[in-house]
Structures are given as C-alpha cells and as structure tokens.
Structure 1
Amino acid sequence: MNQHHESTGAASAGTQITLRGPAELADALPYVLGFHPSDSIVMIALHGTRGRFGGRLRLGIPSEPEEWPAVAEQLAECLVMGSERRGRRPDGILVFLCQDPADGETGGQVMERLRTLAQRLRTACGGLEVPVLEALCISSGRYWSYCCPDTRCCPPEGNTLAMPGTSVMAAAATYAGLRVSGTLREMEARLTPWPAPRAAPQERALDAAGASLLPRLLSDAEHEQVGAETLELAGRLMRRLAETPPAPGRGDPDAVDDELIAHDEAAAVILGLQDRRTRDRAAEWMEGPEASAALRLWRLLSRRCVGPYGEHAAAPLTLAGWVAWSTGDEPAARVALGMALRADPGYHFAQLLHQACNEGIDPEALRRCLRQERGKRTRSKGGAASRRARVRRKPPRPSAAAPGCSPPAARPGAAEPRGRTRGRGVRHGRQGG
C-alpha cells in the first residue's frame, strides 16, 4: 500500500535507518524528536523517493477546534517554506497527532476527535502541492492511521506500540549513542513556574526587586550599573551551582538547585535580565565549564517567574534554550524556546533562535559572534587599565585651563555633563526581546 512507504532518517551523522510502515514510524517518533511528545502536532518533511527525513516542527494541539484551520495552514506553510529556504522543497510530509485521553476517554475516542484536525493538515499541505503520505494518531500506547483504509493492518481499535527499547529505531539509536530525554511534559516541568502557594515568597521578592530596580533601569545614570550588578550576581550564583554538581543519590536535581538560590537573589537576576543588553551579555556563558552552570541557573530562574511575572520568563527561557542548543541538546532547546514564545510571543531573540534551531542552522556562527564581543570588551578593559597605569606613573601637569580658572568639573556647583536622554522601550522594567 502506498501509505506504507519507506522512510530513511539519520540517527547520527553516519547512521541511516530504514523505517517501513506506520508501526515503525510511530515507534521512531521519540528518537526523531529526542523526547516523547504529548499533546502535540508533529510534522516531518520527507525528501526523495526513499523519504529521507528533513525539517520537522512541533506545536501543542489547540484546545479549540475553531483554531484548527488557521493553525493547519500556518504549520504547513512554515514547514514547506522553511524547507525551501534550506534549499529543497519537500516531496511529502508525515503528520503525527499525539494526545493522551482525558478522564473517561479512550484512545479511540481521541483519534476520532482529532480526525478533523488531521484532515485540515492534509488539506493545508495539499494546497501547497505537498502530499501528506501518512498521518498517525498516537494515544494511550496505541496508534491509528488516518490514511490507510485497510483494516487488516490498521484496524479500528488501533495497533499497540512496540515496547520501549524494542523497535528498529530503538536498536539503531542505542548503537548510535542517542537517547530519549523523557516526555515533553517532564521536560516542560523543569521550566514551569512554581504554583501557589509555593510561589508566594518568590512573588513577594519579585515585587520588592521591581520596586527597587525599575527606577534604576529607567535611569540613564544607573542603567549600566544595574546590568553590571546583575551579571556579577549571576556569575556568583553560577559558581555556587557549579560547586554542587548534580549527582545520583541527591534526589531531584532541580529541587537541590532551588535550595541553593534565595528568593531575593533570583528576583534580582530575573529583573536585571529584562534588559536586552544584559541578557545578551549573559548569553556569552554558552560553552565550556560555564555552560552547565548557566543552563542550571536559567532553568531555575524560569521556575521562579511566578504569578504575574510569567512574561518575565521569556528571558531566562530563551537563555536556557540558547545554551542547550549551543551544547548540542536540540530537543531541550526547542522545548525551552517554545515555552519562551508562549510566555511572550513577541520576544524577538526567542523567535530568531527557535527558527534557526528548527531549520538546522549551525549555532557556531552565533557563538563566534558572542566570543568576538566578549574579546573586544576584554581588550577594551585591558587597554583602559593600561592607560590608567600610565597616567598614574606620569608627574602631575598644570591645568590647561586659563590662568585663574578651574576646570569646569572643579567649579563649585558645576553640573556634570549628561548625554541625551534615550527612550529604552522598557515595559514593566524590561526592554524588548
């Protein structure tokens, strides 16, 4: 049957895995994404006669069916146009709808409820002249095909998924050294703000930090100083985390990290990161020994953006996504960046990183840019220190002011020169992303 085509995807740079039919496609999905998706639309572009895997995207299933037509069109366009930007239009598309049953619902009922969404996606892709070669619903440990009419291989009650670790893809992934990071729900839980009542002390700390820092963030005179203080505090917290590395037997590693950082410390860094320039400086902690501690800190801070401060999580979530991507953990990067865009859909840095990560762009170009910025700043500081040392070694010189006059800054009551006041676009103490 033509729906049971052969797809070949790369498990690693040197491993090709051939998947035949819906069963192997369904079993392979967690290895393709790097996690077990839940409540998700997943679409994968296919290229060539053998169906080589290309670009892929994931989005949470909209709860309101009236949103499905617009979402289907947007996803189809995003996948097809993104593939074209990378150089090749897809020859076909795979669609997966993954959702666990609600209370009192069966997997078969989930499949029927999502049938309209599957049809919308197939129609949207067909409208762009790219066929959906297979559309599967995965729910409650079973899978159903929306494309295959043969009840001998795709019965109404669905088929059972292979036991974890027993599929063709599982064996190949083990050989290639790949692993599945867990479920999407588990990955998002590491980044989700604390619920009430646990959040109450952190919310009070954020209120206090906002009252203290917002006027300074809006002040030309103190703005840069706030940024320096934020980065210095973040560096101290990273060193503290690095001194307590995650280890087996210590329980939940996130809970251990949470105990190491006080509410007021977390609040100060969260508020400081709302400034774009400070956030960009923090993004330089992206590789080497710094990266692990930075990732733990950004995840921790994302969990502390509680209550009305949920939108503030866009900054630490984006930084968590960036460090994960920079260090090669693309599944974790996509999850964090997707959550950043849920926190603030207009956060520009998250938009750019999310698109680049999904399109398979090498993060080295951005790493190189950040290294250069850090190097220039280091050289500038070194040059300034050298100039100060030379000035100290020189004998005092008489003032160049006219006889009988003092330099302007020494005159009693003389005002220090000020630059023009610049608008900072700060909203609730933050600059645009």
Structure 2
Amino acid sequence: MAAVPYLLGFRPSDGSIAVTASRDRRIVFAARGDLPAPGAPARQILEVAANLVTVLRRQQPINDLMIVGYGTEHIDPALLTVSEALTASGMPVLELLRVTGTRVFNLTCGNPDCCPPQGTPFDPTASLIAVQATAAGQVALPNRAAVAARFAPVDGAARDGMRRATAGAVTRLTAVCAAGAAAADEAGALAVRDALRKHDDGKRLTGDEVAWLTMLLQRPAVRDLAVDLTQPHDRHVTFWADITRRAQEPLVPAPATLLAITAWRCGDGALAGMAADRALQVDPEYRLARLLLQALHAGLPPSVLERAADTDRSNPSDK
C-alpha cells in the first residue's frame, strides 16, 4: 500500500481507486481510476470494473491483485463491487483496502485483533518503501496538479522572451528550408544532438536554442530521431518537460509527446498520460500522441512504442 503513490507518481485523491497486480510476489503493474460518486447507479461501478478487467488481462500471468480505495466509508460499496467483479472474472484479489488520511481499513479481514474497525494508523512517508524509493530518486507528488506543474507553460518575461526567440527561429528555418528538406532535417539532427548533449553536461538551453529546437521538431524525421536518441532516465524526462514548458503553444505537441514517451519508458504512466493529453489539447490530430495515449489506456507496455513509431514513419505526412 505504501508503494502505490510511488508506482503512480503521485498520491491519489479521495474518490480514487488504485489496483496493483503482482506476479511471483513482485508488483508488475499499477493503475488508477476514479470511482463514481456515492449513490451512482451500479452500472457505472461495473463499467469501472469492466475496464480494469480488460486492462489487467493484458498483464497475464498475474498471481494476485491488491485494490486500494481512497476516501471515507462512503466508497466501500463501490470498492466491494469492483472486487467482486474482478474475482468473478478469475482475477484473485488478495487485499481490499481503503485509505483515509493516515489510516488504512482492511475490507476483507474481519479479525479486530489485526484489522481494527477504526482502522490502522500508518505514516506513508516513514515506511521502508518510502525511504527506499526516495533514495532511488523516485518521488510521489502530492496530487495530479503537481505532476502537471512539471510541464506547465512559462509566463511573464520568460514567455515574452520565448515569443521573440521563436519569431527569430521562424525566419532562420525559412532560410534553411530554401536549400531543401534534406538541409532542414540535417539542421534538426544537429540541433537534437547538441541539445541533449548540452543538457547531459548540466547546461540549460537558451531561449534561442529552445525556439530553434521546437521549430525543427515539427519535422517528423527530426522528432523521430529525438525519440531514438532520448534515453529512459529522469534527466531526459526533466529535459523534455523544460522544453515543453518553454515552447510556444502551437509548437507544444512534439516536445510534449517526447516527454510522454520518455516518462512512459521510465515507468511513469501518470506523467506520460498527462503529457500526451497536453499535446492533444493543442493538436487533437497529433498521431503519435494519440497512439501513445491509446496504449496507456490499454495497459500496454512501452515495447509497443517501436511498432507505433514504425507505423508513424511509414506515413511521413502524418504528424
């Protein structure tokens, strides 16, 4: 239970349900969803359960599941309905828990000696799992808003500076494109390599460098090279989050999708999904972001990325 916020990347809010799947005593998958409001029709709860069943079946073989609900006792009926639906589908639920503040309630144990009806107090920040996760560089942000803040647009003077820098990049790219598509792609490859190298050396890109990079990332070949060169570690997550924050709004989809892909490869499904959503807010037809979001919703592993990228590259006119 203490591991759930670190698996998701943030602490679930009240009204949430989290499911972790284990194989040979090792957690192999975690997902979060929203429960219907108390008093909602039973069919809405069953729809939540049906979606979880579909996703979890793709993670087979699974030995057992743990369900954790967040909120007051009003969500207990919904949690029990979801648990019964998963069990009926052949997925064994090992534990059904509810967390309220700093207390945990076991809904499957009726022994008051080990599972008192008033709940068991716990400190999620002081557990061994929390200590180990923090030492490994994993964090559990307080909520989804804190996750979104990692790539929220800059404002004020920083935004004004990026607007001017992007105008200059437009003029520069127009001149490069006059020499042909190959020249533009070559400039893009150089910009991507230089940007990642500079970041890995501990340096932050200037506004002009970010503007130039985000202009060139509009070219599918340049973006695909960036996918290949980006590594699945937090440094590159931080890099693409910064580029997404500083990009002018029309240029956001490419860096936001690169952020989503990098976060997905690092196992941060929450950040990946929210970054893909950000890309689609700007351009609802951005193909690679849509493919990634579909894979996330289906509970598919990052290994499907190669097939998605191959499909995208076979249609160079697609974004």
The TM-score, its normalising length taken from structure 2, stands at 0.68
Residue 232 of structure 1 and its aligned partner are, at CA, apart by: 2.1
User: CA separation of 1:234/1:361 partners in 2, compared to 1, >3 Å: closer, same or farther?
Assistant: closer
The question of 1:58 aligning with 2:31 is answered yes
TM-fit CA distance, 1:94:
0.9
Query: What's 1:45 paired with?
Result: 21
* Residue type of the alignment partner of 2:317: R
Q: Judge conservation of contact 2:22–2:29 (CA < 8 Å) in 1.
A: no
Q: Where in structure 2 are the equivalents of 1:106-185 lying within 5 Å?
A: 110-162=71-123, 164-167=125-128, 169=129, 173=132, 179=136, 181-185=138-142
Q: Which residue of 1 aligns with 2:51?
A: 74
1:188 aligns with 2:147: yes
**Aligned twin of 2:206:** 261
Determine the C-alpha separation between the residues in 2 that align with 1:301 and 1:355: 25
Question: Which residue pairs with 1:339 in the alignment?
Answer: 274
Kept after mapping to 2: 8 A contact 1:68/1:120:
yes
Offset of 1:300 from its aligned partner? 1.1
| Residue deviations 1:129-149 (CA, integer Å, cap 9, x gap) | 224232222342222233334
2:87 counterpart letter in structure 1: G
**Contact persistence 2:263–2:272 (CA under 8 A):** yes
Secondary structure at the aligned position of 1:44 is classed as strand
Matching residue of 1:300: 242
Q: For structure 1, which runs of at least 5 residues remain unmatched after alignment? A: 1-25, 99-109, 246-256, 371-421, 426-430
Assess, with a 3 A threshold, how the Cα gap between structure 1 residues 211 and 179 changes in structure 2: closer, same or farther: closer
Q: Is the 8 A contact 1:36 1:183 kept in 2?
A: yes
- Matches for 1:216-365 after TM superposition, within 5 Å: 222-244=180-202, 257=204, 260-262=205-207, 264-287=208-231, 294-305=236-247, 311-321=253-263, 325=265, 330-331=266-267, 333-343=268-278, 344=280, 347=289, 350-351=292-293, 354=296, 359=301
Letter aligned with residue 119 of structure 2 = G
* Residue 160 (structure 2) aligns with: 201
Match of 1:83 in 2: 59
How far apart, in 1, do the equivalents of 2:67 and 2:141 lie? 18
Which residue pairs with 1:3 in the alignment?
Answer: none
| C-alpha RMSD of the superposition | 4.6
How far, CA to CA, are the matches of 2:183 and 2:193 in structure 1? 15
Q: What is the CA–CA distance in structure 2 between the aligned matches of 1:170 and 1:362, rounded to whole Å?
A: 30
What is the Cα deviation at residue 185 of structure 1? 4.4
Identity of aligned residues (%): 19
Query: 1:234 Cα shift?
Result: 3.0
Aligned length, in residue pairs: 298
